[in-house]
Structure 1
């Protein structure tokens, strides 16, 4: 029974060994699950005529606005490239990390982007969610009071904003149900929309169609100046 006397001494060592073993097993299971997930993503991409990249850090440069450009460990996770209705397309999951005390939080965002005909200044249109007159009197104000009430417009070029958000475009955005929930931006060579959360490939066509329809509203002369 002398071994019983050793239990208080041995227990911390045994517990430490078990913790290491469990950590190794857990990491192995996660790695196996990730390999299986990547295989499924690759197969899905082939079926849809897309190119798949499991990790792509170049996605961090897609935009300078949040959720891009914030946090650390910025990476495109499960990134797909191809074409949608004649326009180059890239979509996937963008991740960045933030630290608080001793914990690290990973923030996933789904993104869908379609290529513009040429580089253009930043222009962001989102649903105005604040309440009251003081919250909405921000950003660019257009001639449509109804549009100003419903949307927030931020831009690096007021000329570009006025040309893109012409009366026809404003009327369309006010009437289109998707615009009530989907914010979008033009930035550089891309039209982009993002959503907090993990990538859901079945949603991509919805967002890509919306972006394509928005781009189609822009007058041709806007791409020439």
Structure 2
């Protein structure tokens, strides 16, 4: 069936520094497969405030939020879901008649991933990153019972803050860390970025780990 756009088509969008073509194609594929009168388009805004105002003013039904806007958009919405409040990071905005409510489904996804794959909380983890995505991962790890882990972040202030918030240890790099669970929540390895060809962890670290998770597409 060929998708037809009409006056009743609901528009959803994403805001990211480097929009993913995969996400756009995936959403539109599902809309068509489920026979939903929706359209999904990715944007890379130069002015976040104006972009969020556009979501409200144009009646955009939903908006996915990616790097580096997950925290910056918080003052621009009307309400935060409990998950977004706890983590102080947002990845989804739902527009209901001009009322913008923000959620953090990153946390939900990581929590389900840990549970579905039965990842033992006895493992020592290394989490690279201290931004919005890393906050969601750290919170999910804590709630899943992980007590031993490292927040690996170049930015000392944000890295220490995140580590102290959940009772973990901050490190500027992975030197000397023996981790069974490796998680990347940075743009390292992201297609189209400056670090697209780099590894978030060394080959030796990957070989020694029992579980590896990269949450950046």
> Fold conserved (TM > 0.5)?
no
Structure with higher RCO (Cα < 8 A, 6+ apart): 1
Larger radius of gyration: 1
Higher helix fraction: Structure 1 or Structure 2? Answer: 1
TM-score, structure 1 as length reference: 0.24
Give the structure with the larger strand fraction. 1
TM-score, normalization by structure 2: 0.25
